[in-house]
Amino acid sequence: MTDQLPTPPRAEARPTRFERHGITVTDDYAWLRDKGYPKVEDTAVLDYLKAENTYFDAWKKPHEALVDTLFEELKGRQKEDDRSVPVKDGEWLYWWAFEPGAQYRQWYRKPVAGGADQLVFDEVAEAAGKQYFRLGAFEVSPDGRLAAVLADDDGSERFKLKIRDLATGKDLETVTEVGIGSPVWSADSKAVLFTEVNDQWRSYRARHHRLGDDPANARTIYEETEDKGFSVGLGESQDKSLIFVATGDNRTSEVRFVPAAEPLGPLTLVSARQKDRLYEADAAHGRLWILTNDRHVNFRVVSADPKHPGEWTEVVPGSERTYIRGLAAFRNHLVLTTRQDGLDQLVLANYRDGGQERIPFTEASYNAGLGSNPEFDPPAYRLSYSSMVTPGTVYDYDPKSRTLTTLKVQEIPSGYDPSQYATERLMIPARDGKQIPVSLVYKKGYRKDGSQPLFLYAYGAYGYAIPPSFSSARLSLLDRGFAYAIAHIRGGDDLGYDWYLQGTATHRWNTFHDFVDAAKGLNAAGFARPGRIAIQGGSAGGKLMGVVVNTDPDLWGAVIADVPFVDVVNTMIDDTLPLTPGEWPVWGNPITDPEAFKLLLSYSPYDNVKRQAYPPMLVTAGLHDPRVTYWEPAKWVARLRANKTDRNLLMLKTNMGAGHGGKSGRWESLRETAEDYAFVLTQLKVAQ
């Protein structure tokens, strides 16, 4: 498969060693981490990354026609002049729109009472001449005159916060160069509250800036000093009365609040942090409404008087069957985002007695959630919906008539007939007896005899469930004979919060076993056979890819590992890296815990590369990625090259001007997908 390619790059092995808990670990490629990071200027490092990119380009060159064909297919399913459904917020309607051919959105508004459309932010103009552009937040002041804009132009996720005059389109001031999250306005529109990251890319403090003052004099209203693994975030209540300052990690949280009318007033603590207890709050009708897992793993809803915020009264009890994932306190209802038997549910709860009404959806498997609902008392609730065969749909739900009104259905300009496709949900037994949900979609006529290819995707971390939602890009695989499967493995919260816990810390191997067992179960059900399965995962899902190619390489016919978290041991013992301290509650702390160190070492993809045959692999990285640093995939590929005994393709593609999410711009993103699919089709020898 690699006979027509130049000799692949070989990184020099420069062995280093360290000892921890009596175990010696050898690292041949530690030098690929530039000592000046986040600046990457070491010429040897850059030369290696560029050589890998050149090797990828050499592979791609004879397949350019296929990449172009796939790209045109993907692009043909995108409505070039697409636009969102307008959302009412006060006296204005807001929406975004794409001009034909444009990579980026333009943001508009107009008065509810009538008037001309106003262009309030032009991403096309902002991105001009830049390799990368991402709008992080666009928050309009309560008086409608100004916007707090967060933007990132290199993928480092250190956002510049600027204040823009919407009447003139001019930026009035730059508040910070290292912002993150969503800023919040004071009630009088004269001040903005925001969070900043430190050198380790941790959101560590919340600040208050009064417009017109020197930004250097912004006042810190909260700084997390107790736990360096905690990150700080801001939010506001649905009724706009309170500003919340939250701090926490993946397992523990703590919330404070201050009146939006007095943002420099003293912060009120809701309840002091307790290890492994999560909670979040909203406000309505003079009370706090709190979602917490203090007494039930699937969370419950409680209420409190803001004057006595730590005294909680139960409103909605926890349930073994129903997992409560979120709440929003509107005037007439507490809207609960839940999941029951693994399926999304939206529930309107009564403030008085917690009585519930479920918004009905009819498909057997789908993805549904609250859309944009900025107002406290909307006449209808904006919802988003899709399934693996139903394109994205925007609804308004009228609670009085109990009816759903369709506002928009995702258009597929090149054509799409849902009747040509089928979806199903399987429950596949894991080796320990647990039942793993797997969502599937394929074109009708798919032969379940192992003769057709399968594309299998999973993530399995941080309690994030991969939804069984629609993808127009996926049609390029389905129309070439693939079935597409999503394995809802442990580590996600697909079947409740405990499903997530069963894939963390000492239970981490469950995630990897679930994925392998799901693949074997799909083979047994006739969806593929060993060597005819393409798999993909990114970030923590890329770690999953790294583990399963070490443990079960013969199962896979092609592997895409996007920005993979694969140098697990080295990262988790380095508390200077951006995310490490906050990860310890999830994976264990190998610095202080010998058993955690041994566990991480047992599955760390980089540390478990061995002399064996590996399947064809495409690995991606982002030079400015603050989440999974570029050297993790680079070191992994270097070690794989030095150890693999096969002649299968192994490629590393590094985005030199982007970060964790790859290239920005809708067409550039589609071209990367086209390259992924071309890699899969060529390696599985599927008719193109």
Residue 625 annotated as catalytic: yes
> CB–CB of 47/54 below 8 Å?
no
For 595-637, the pLDDT digits (tens) are 999 999 999 999 999 999 999 999 999 998 888 999 999 999 9
DSSP three-state, residue 214: coil
Residue 539 annotated as catalytic: yes
With bands split at pLDDT 50, 70 and 90, how would you rate the model's confidence at 408?
very high
Global pTM reads: 0.94
State the burial class of residue 95 (Cβ atoms within 10 Å of its Cβ: 0-12, 13-18, 19+): middle
State the burial class of residue 212 (Cβ atoms within 10 Å of its Cβ: 0-12, 13-18, 19+): exposed
Residue closest to 544 by CA, chosen among 576, 509, 505 = 509
Q: How far apart are CA 363 and CA 384, in angstroms?
A: 14
For 195-219, the pLDDT digits (tens) are 999 988 889 999 999 999 999 999 9
Point out the catalytic residue in the list 153, 239, 625, 676: 625
With bands split at pLDDT 50, 70 and 90, how would you rate the model's confidence at 576?
confident
Span 188-201, average pLDDT: 94
Q: How far apart are CA 649 and CA 651, in angstroms?
A: 7
DSSP three-state, residue 271: coil
For residue 660, the model assigns a pLDDT of 63
Point out the catalytic residue in the list 253, 439, 539, 664: 539
Residue 308 annotated as catalytic: no
- The pairs formed by 55-59 with CB atoms below 8 angstroms and a separation of 24 or more are 55/5, 55/6, 55/8, 55/9, 55/651, 55/652, 56/651, 56/652, 56/653, 58/5, 58/6, 59/5, 59/649, 59/651
Q: How far apart are CA 541 and CA 550, in angstroms?
A: 15
Strands 253-259 and 242-248: antiparallel
For 486-512, the pLDDT digits (tens) are 999 999 999 999 999 999 999 999 999
Alpha-carbon distances, residue 322 vs 257, 340, 494 (angstroms)? 29, 5, 11
For 277-288, the pLDDT digits (tens) are 999 999 999 999
For residue 1, the model assigns a pLDDT of 53
Average pLDDT, the chain: 95
Q: How far apart are CA 204 and CA 633, in angstroms?
A: 28
Point out the catalytic residue in the list 141, 660, 664, 676: 660
For residue 487, the model assigns a pLDDT of 98
Q: How far apart are CA 498 and CA 402, in angstroms?
A: 33
End-to-end Cα, the chain, rounded Å: 17
Report the percent of the chain where pLDDT is more than 90. 90
Q: At residue 38, does pLDDT exceed 90?
A: no
Would you say the C-alpha torsion 265, 271, 274, 280 has a positive or negative sign?
negative
